[in-house]
Amino acid sequence: MLRTEIVRGLSNILTAVDESNVLSVVERVYRELSRQGGEVKMTELLESYQKFLLAYNSTFTPVEHTMMKVLDVNEFADADWWSVVIGSTGAASKSPDAASIIGRPLFKLRFVADYLPNIIDLVKRESDGDATLAPGHLILILPEEAGKSSSPLRVTSAIESIAVLYEAFGELSVQSNTDLVIKSLDSGVDKLFEFQGLPDLIDKVKELLLDLWDNVIYYREKRFSERLDLTAKHLPILAEITALEEKAQLQPERAELLRRKFTQGATKFFETGASIPEMNKFSNYVPRQLLSPKETLLLAG
């Protein structure tokens, strides 16, 4: 699980607890059971229950579901547990052990609500915003397969692919190409690298990678080696360079150098099985299924 997923997941759980008012409502049910002066209306309880379950079932991802289990507060998503809570509100006959059934997960959720904000602040970084939408930011994803790990060559090749493409676009548009930096790193099962550079050049790199992704989908039935060759050699940017060369706006030597750089960067990106988040937004295909890395770049373990 990625650190960014942990931060986002914890924040989503706290938001659901706050917006449903579930903690306050269940605490009052518990105080009423333990004769501490709690009072709650059935309509308020049912509304709170429905709001939290709606968040759990419609907005929570598997990350939040896993976190609730790890934090040991999964009862708040359990219909049987809620039946005890609801049955303890204003009922003449209550379960004799209702207080203990309700109290244990309640105390745990109270602890979570009190201390999770501090934990989130501890692990959160300034760059944890939605970097895919921030100007000049690019997220490179290296998916990992079960039972296999990336070799150092796979990681360095993936990083180099972005650097080479960024440099090529900088040279083509006569802009600085030395200001690309790796802003942050993240890892869980997969590995994430956040790049930051000139917004114009970053946008061009993203556009090229989406063109590459279109080619991957189009040639998806081909063998790996043939697919690699076709996807890298049929990029629109190569045709643009040829057009500029024919118009004498690029010298032949410079045009050939740029073609090699774009082909090299695209090839390295393809070989490593890397992807960017934007690929998921414009296609029904899953990048990690079509962009598998070369076997020589993976190690068993």
Q: Given phi > 0 = left and psi -120 to 50 = alpha, else beta, which region is 95?
A: beta
Cβ within 8 Å of residue 213, ≥6 positions away: 275, 279, 282, 283, 287, 291
Residue 31 has what pLDDT?
87
Single pTM value for the model: 0.67
Distance CA 63, CA 178 (A): 37
Reply yes or no on whether the pLDDT at 129 is more than 60: no
pLDDT band, very low/low/confident/very high, at 131 (cuts 50, 70, 90): very low
Residue 88 has what pLDDT?
83
Average pLDDT of the segment spanning 149-171: 94
pLDDT band, very low/low/confident/very high, at 37 (cuts 50, 70, 90): low
Of residues 176 and 237, more confidence is placed in 237
| pLDDT tens-digit map of 218-269 | 888 888 788 888 888 899 999 999 999 999 999 999 999 999 999 999 999 9
Distance CA 30, CA 42 (A): 14
Distance CA 270, CA 251 (A): 28
Reply yes or no on whether the pLDDT at 89 is more than 90: no
Residue 287 has what pLDDT?
84
Average pLDDT of the segment spanning 108-120: 89
Residue 171 has what pLDDT?
92
Residue 128 has what pLDDT?
55
| pLDDT tens-digit map of 180-192 | 999 888 877 788 8
Reply yes or no on whether the pLDDT at 301 is more than 60: no
| pLDDT tens-digit map of 79-88 | 999 988 888 8
Distance CA 36, CA 32 (A): 6
Contact status, residue 150 vs residue 142, Cβ threshold 8 Å = yes
Reply yes or no on whether the pLDDT at 204 is more than 70: yes
* Domain extents in the chain: 3-123, 140-300
Reply yes or no on whether the pLDDT at 159 is more than 50: yes
pLDDT cut 90: percent of the chain above it: 53
Reply yes or no on whether the pLDDT at 281 is more than 50: yes
Of residues 160 and 130, more confidence is placed in 160
Average pLDDT of the segment spanning 284-297: 81
